[in-house]
Structure 1
Amino acid sequence: MNAKDTTVTTRPVTRQTFDEVLVPTYAPAAMVPVRGSGLDLWDQNGKHYLDFTSGIAVNSLGHCNPIVVEALTRQANTLWHLGNGYTNEPVLRLGLALTEATFADRAFFCNSGAEANEAALKLARKYAHAKFGPHKSRIVSCLQSFHGRTLFTVSVGGQSKYTEGFEPLPPSIDHIAYNDIEAARASITDDVCAVIVEPLQGEGGVVPGDKAYLQALRDLCDQTGAVLIFDEVQCGMGRTGDLFHYMTYGITPDVLTSAKALGNGYPVAAMLTTHELAATLGVGSHGTTYGGNPLAATVALTVLETINQPEFLARVKQAGDKLRGTMEKLIADYPQVFTLVRGAGLLLGMVVTDAWKGRSKDIQKAAEVNGLMVLIAGMDVLRLAPALIVSDEQIAEADRILRVSIDGLLKA
């Protein structure tokens, strides 16, 4: 190591450094956050922001939550990693907690939503091959869905902009319109091994699933022997006011995937399923180096135990109602900008009018200038996904900043 390398950890870096050394798969904001606490964030210049993104529905307990920090620190001083030749106490406790809290009998742990969906899709294929034969291999997904960025999961996702240039894509994958029961009936036939759906589409525009549609998918899978997979990577873990969104509908999948908020920012994901399906994946059939390591499992268990409390979830529903009511009033006051708000709990999308088509990013940028961080879901939807610990006062402040920001855009 030469002399200049000894200062790498303290070397000044800026947003320009991203353009110089990182692969340009993102176009991050001009400001660089350096510190967070709850829903508060500060950038390199000391400017304060109210964070209504929670890291894209990840930091559901807020930045640097002291309960999570304590659990991570304790485990970091105990045991980090073993490899899958050994199990560990934290992952066993997490597996017990998740199966006791859900329909599932078995859990597989990995590192990201894409990996959880990859595992779910591989499981469905292998199960169908073993039980019915290789002809039963087709996967049905929805247009505008998002299931991850591996070649398999991005192909299953229903947004062609993410697959352009990566052809040839994995075969036997079909996409149908979301919430279209007739399209589902036409597509889900005896050669289908899996139907994968988000009960609430996130990246596709914050679009809630109709109960009748999700029930139709359940019925069609029962009739054809297909595996029903609910992707709850974004809408699960308390985001909509229930621990998982399938509970809201009372419709139980065969497989559920979870990530994002499961670790509150620490990379961890889970695929949950039944005894019958889990038996398909025998020793050596699937795996991951880091999945279920003691650090990740400890954090996830702490997050799960914090969120999965009646009082906590009741407050999420209350806060969701408050945020929706506040945004409905904002929409009523700015009918030239927004048409409606949709979603569930604390995952809401504000749809822009025809006159503002393609301009959700402009609203996002204006809000950031005024100290509010929000998301978009496509170019026509402003997405709000604050931490589940958001207060009524913070909701009111977000409303105030959004109004100031929109006023500024209207005057421009």
Structure 2
Amino acid sequence: MNTSPSTTTGSITGTEWKPRFGVAMMSSLTTPKLMLERGEGCAVWDVDGNRYLDFLAGIAVNALGHAHPALVAAVSSQVATLAHVSNFFATPQQLELAERLCRISGAGERGKVLFGNSGAEAIEAAIKLARLNKGDGSRKRIIALTNSFHGRTMGSLSLTGKPALREDFLPLLGGIEHIPTTIEALEHTIDGTVAALVLEPIKGEAGVIDLPEGYLKRARELTTQHGALLILDEIQTGIGRTGAWFEYQNQGVVPDAIAVAKGIAGGVPIGALITFGDASDLFRAGQHGSTFGGNPLAAAAGNAVLEEIESAGLIQNATLRGDQLRDAIRAIDSPLIGEVRGRGLLIGVGLTEPVAAAVVDRALGLGLIINAPNESSIRIAPPLIVGDSEVAEFTDVFTRAILAQPTEAHS
């Protein structure tokens, strides 16, 4: 494994931090495998100076990688000027980011933005939006998909279609139903009693699972026909990750609202609900808000990241590098690789055996960070800045991790 001199003061090295983590941190978090200290580009270093190629990017958050000059400059300047003002006041950074999000999403002049601090908060706002779409009072149902993930707050968990995550917290919000991800189920379910359909264009936490061909277009047709909102969770798929600003743009669909977060500010916490057309008229003053939402520090970071993605051609890079990575993965001569899913730089590798965790551990031992969202899937989501050298390094290490025998010691 590559190493470099550590910049740690020496107070935390080796594994001595692990017992401290277990004492100080809530037990809902399992003890991590590494304590990371710094990053640069597509690489991070732990407290012992070991280098890792980061092909998870904070779970599709670090769009510009680590310590990108554009983000560093924007945050440094803004925190020295004005970091927070509450939602009693506006700032130029907030307004600029809202207008930028309306432009890149295609919401245009009829679009509106409601800022929060995370994807879960954006989903909470989306649930409120759905509840406001009552029509004559008959629209009371919100439909979501099985095996979906929308967050862990009580509202977003109510939408999440994973029973194992929900069962300890029942009862959750009423009026939410989960249906199988088939067009047949969609056609059977959507009617005049549905206020909204909420779904991920690609199911990220399920292992980067694509929707059936034509699903999103049929969802748009049915929701329009019955007056329901089509609300898309683009938290993981958005901000250039799939080779467009948002995945629905790849599929030629215009939603009523989208929940976004993750890649917007390159690691600075922010989330947003963006509405389109008539859906922008549903919220009235005082019905929702956030103390920190759209603060000038996070907004400045968001403007810097989005401007860099646009000016540096990183959306096009996501398509190019995603194709390279998929070709490289498919070229690995192993019966363990069953399928390669997703789009752009959101990649799911479906394994033929339930050994994803072991593969991820072997990769980590070889200096590569990837993720196993379930026992038979591997998720790969590198920064949008990834280039030829990182693709080559990934290909070498991932191939070794796939081909290694389970009993091999980590190197």
Normalization by structure 2: what TM-score? 0.93
Task: After TM superposition, give the deviation of residue 389 of structure 1 in Å.
Answer: 0.7
Task: After TM superposition, give the deviation of residue 385 of structure 1 in Å.
Answer: 0.5
SS at the partner of 2:81?
coil
CA contact (8 A) 1:240 1:345 kept: yes
> 1:345 corresponds to which residue?
344
CA contact (8 A) 2:239 2:246 kept: yes
> 1:388 corresponds to which residue?
384
> 2:282 corresponds to which residue?
280
> 1:374 corresponds to which residue?
370
Distance change in 2, residues 1:344/1:28 (3 Å): farther
Quick check: 402-411 or 276-285, which moved more? 402-411
> 1:213 corresponds to which residue?
215
Distance 1:308 1:192 in 2: 37
Aligned partner letter, 2:405:
L
SS at the partner of 1:377?
strand
Which structure is higher in helix share? Answer: 1
Distance change in 2, residues 1:210/1:20 (3 Å): same
Distance 1:310 1:247 in 2: 20
Task: After TM superposition, give the deviation of residue 305 of structure 1 in Å.
Answer: 1.3
> 1:232 corresponds to which residue?
234
Distance change in 2, residues 1:65/1:189 (3 Å): same
CA contact (8 A) 1:374 1:382 kept: yes
RMSD: 1.6
CA contact (8 A) 1:144 1:158 kept: yes
Distance 1:30 1:213 in 2: 38
Task: After TM superposition, give the deviation of residue 94 of structure 1 in Å.
Answer: 0.6
1:235-384 alignment runs, 5 A limit:
235-309=237-311, 311-330=313-332, 333-335=333-335, 337-353=336-352, 356-357=353-354, 359-384=355-380
1:131-280 alignment runs, 5 A limit:
131-133=135-137, 135-178=138-181, 180-280=182-282
Distance 2:206 2:289 in 1: 30
Return structure 1 stretches of 4+ with deviation > 3 angstroms: 9-13
Distance change in 2, residues 1:144/1:386 (3 Å): same
Aligned partner letter, 1:24:
S
SS at the partner of 2:405?
helix
Aligned partner letter, 2:20:
T
Q: Share of identical aligned residues, percent?
A: 37
> 1:55 corresponds to which residue?
58
Task: After TM superposition, give the deviation of residue 28 of structure 1 in Å.
Answer: 4.1
Distance 1:380 1:361 in 2: 8
CA contact (8 A) 1:243 1:307 kept: no
> 1:97 corresponds to which residue?
100
Aligned partner letter, 1:372:
L
Task: After TM superposition, give the deviation of residue 410 of structure 1 in Å.
Answer: 4.6
Task: After TM superposition, give the deviation of residue 209 of structure 1 in Å.
Answer: 2.2
Normalization by structure 1: what TM-score? 0.92
Q: Does residue 115 of structure 2 align to residue 109 of structure 1?
A: yes
SS at the partner of 1:165?
helix
How many correspondences in the alignment?
A: 394
Task: After TM superposition, give the deviation of residue 68 of structure 1 in Å.
Answer: 0.3
CA contact (8 A) 2:334 2:403 kept: no
Distance 2:381 2:282 in 1: 36
SS at the partner of 2:34?
coil
> 1:4 corresponds to which residue?
none
SS at the partner of 1:125?
helix
CA contact (8 A) 1:243 1:308 kept: no
Distance 2:97 2:44 in 1: 30
SS at the partner of 2:313?
helix
Task: After TM superposition, give the deviation of residue 139 of structure 1 in Å.
Answer: 0.6
